[in-house]
Amino acid sequence: SRYPFVGDHFQYLASIGPLALVGAGLDKGLRVLTDPPPWLRRATGGLVLLVLGVLTWRQCAMYRDDETLWRTTIRLNPGSWMAHNNLAVDLTGKPGKAAEAIAQYEEALRLRPNHATAQFNLAQELKNIPGRVDDAIAHYEAAIHYDPGLGLAHLNLGALLALKPGREADAIAQYEEALRLMPGSATAHYNFALELLKMPGREADVIAQYREAIRLQPDFAQAHYNLALELAKQPDT
């Protein structure tokens, strides 16, 4: 389910009626006593406030931080794909948490395989792990299958395919799609230039891509350097 059963915030307004009835019942119960001492009402009210305060304190503990919230959600509703994905997002980048983040993404995808963002996020985690590049490629491809408009998925997939012998044409196709979706990405133009370097007769395109990367990001030092190298190869005119 998208919204977990612990979505108790939906019940705040609905709980006003039952709480009012409980309060009225307590007051009615005290009234039936014959001449109850004044302290009894004060003590009863104080006890109710104390109980509610303790319950509120315990409830607030789950909102201490994002990780605690999503762990609590998963404990109460293990079938919430969103909670598994969001916990993985929170764990991503935390020291020593990479393996658990991957496990949470995998569980989110087990529950909802067509979740393109989770496919992309899992690929992001796997791409830098030795021996998991093929898995990362598969998840980028799944992300694109479910959401073809994910420009970063096309860009990163192109970068991984560029590492594979014989996949140059596939990498170029992914870079071209990334540029169609993100024409303002200096990184996409730069990576595209790097891949075009492998193709004979594409020198002019390589230079054009480097120039565009620099236009979009003037402080792109590596693009300046690579452009200079390419220009140095050109015959004097």
Cα(143)–Cα(156) distance, rounded to whole angstroms? 11
pLDDT attached to residue 152? 96
**What amino acid occupies position 180?**
R
HSE toward the beta carbon, residue 209, CA cutoff 13 A: 24
- DSSP-derived letter for residue 235 is P
Identify the segments of the chain with pLDDT beneath 50: 1-6, 237
Cβ neighbours of 138 (radius 10 Å): 15
**Distance of alpha carbon 125 from alpha carbon 112, whole angstroms:** 18
pTM above 0.75, yes or no: no
pLDDT on residue 124? 94
d(CA 28, CA 10): 30
pLDDT for the residue numbered 212: 97
Q: How many CB atoms neighbour CB 40 within 10 A?
A: 11
Q: In this predicted model, what pLDDT tens digit does every residue of 183-230 receive, in sequence order?
A: 999 999 999 999 999 988 999 999 999 999 999 999 999 999 999 999
Query: Which pLDDT score, from 0 to 100, does residue 237 have?
Result: 47
Q: At 72, which amino acid appears?
A: T
* pLDDT at position 63: 57
Q: Are 186 and 220 within 8 A, CB to CB?
A: yes
Q: Identify the pLDDT of residue 20.
A: 74
